[in-house]
Every structure is written in structure tokens, then in C-alpha cells.
């Protein structure tokens, strides 16, 4: 389950609009694919309904590409930087709902990884 607007839809909208050379240098095909992969990892790791052992391929992906607290905190900081940078220009941007969900998922994982007790 992916809350809010699909990231691929947002990326497609961005790719379809006129952009500056600076934006083009950031939104490379590789960077877009990697961001989608990270977003999907985040949704999966934060999904309370996902049970390990249900899908061996997903289990292997999660094990191989763990999102540790430093990475998650960096992602949360990047979301804040984006929102602060655009604050004077945008009000009620529909992408903010997605940013909020990404922030909340990352924060939940940080808390879980920081305070979870192993049985």
C-alpha cells in the first residue's frame, strides 16, 4: 500500500515539464530509478502488515538493502530542506502529502530501530 500520489506519477510529471539544466542534471534516469527503489524499500520496511518469510525475494532485498538510522535521518533532513526551500512559493502542494508519509515512515523506522527490543 502506497499512500498519497504515486512517486512514479510525480516523477513523470516533473520529467514532462520544462526544466532547467540544473534540474536535468539531478533528475537523471539513474537517480529517478534509485529514488523509486528507496521509496519502495521505505514503504516495505515501514509496512506493519509485511511478514518476513512471506516472499523470499522481498526478504532478500530488504536484508541486502537495509535502511539504517543515519540514512533515514538524512532522508528526513532532505525532505525538510525541500519543504523549507519551497515554502515561500507553494501552498497546499499535493506532493506534501507524499512527503509527509515518507517522513513519517522514515521516522517510525528510526524509532523502531533505536528502541526495539529483540526477543
Sequence spans of domains, the chain: 7-115
Q: 67 with 36: CB under 8 angstroms?
A: no
| Widest pairwise Cα distance in the chain | 53
pLDDT at 7: 62
Q: pTM of the entire structure?
A: 0.71
Q: Which three cell numbers stand for residue 116?
A: 526495539
Q: Which three cell numbers stand for residue 14?
A: 516533473
pLDDT of 8 over the 70 cut: no
Distance CA 1, CA 93 (A): 22
Q: 96 with 10: CB under 8 angstroms?
A: no
Confidence of residue 11 (pLDDT cuts 50, 70, 90): low
Give tens-digit pLDDT for 37-76: 999 999 999 998 888 888 899 999 999 998 999 999 999 9
Distance CA 115, CA 72 (A): 15
Q: 72 with 110: CB under 8 angstroms?
A: yes
Burial class (CB in 10 A: 0-12, 13-18, 19+), 35: middle
pLDDT at 22: 78
**For residue 104, what are the CA distances in angstroms to 2, 54, 93?**
13, 25, 18
Amino acid at each position: 500500500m502506497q499512500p498519497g500520489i504515486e512517486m512514479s506519477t510525480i516523477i513523470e510529471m516533473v520529467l514532462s515539464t520544462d526544466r532547467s539544466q540544473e534540474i536535468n542534471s539531478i533528475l537523471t534516469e539513474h537517480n529517478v530509478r534509485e529514488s523509486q527503489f528507496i521509496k519502495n524499500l521505505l514503504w516495505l520496511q515501514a509496512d506493519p502488515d509485511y511478514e518476513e518469510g512471506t516472499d523470499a525475494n522481498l526478504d532478500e532485498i530488504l536484508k541486502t538493502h537495509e535502511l539504517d538510522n543515519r540514512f533515514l535521518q538524512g532522508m528526513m533532513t532532505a525532505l525538510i530542506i525541500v519543504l523549507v526551500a519551497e515554502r515561500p512559493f507553494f501552498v497546499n502542494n499535493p506532493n506534501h502529502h507524499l512527503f509527509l508519509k515518507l517522513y513519517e515512515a522514515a521516522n517510525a523506522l528510526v524509532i523502531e530501530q533505536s528502541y526495539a527490543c529483540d526477543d
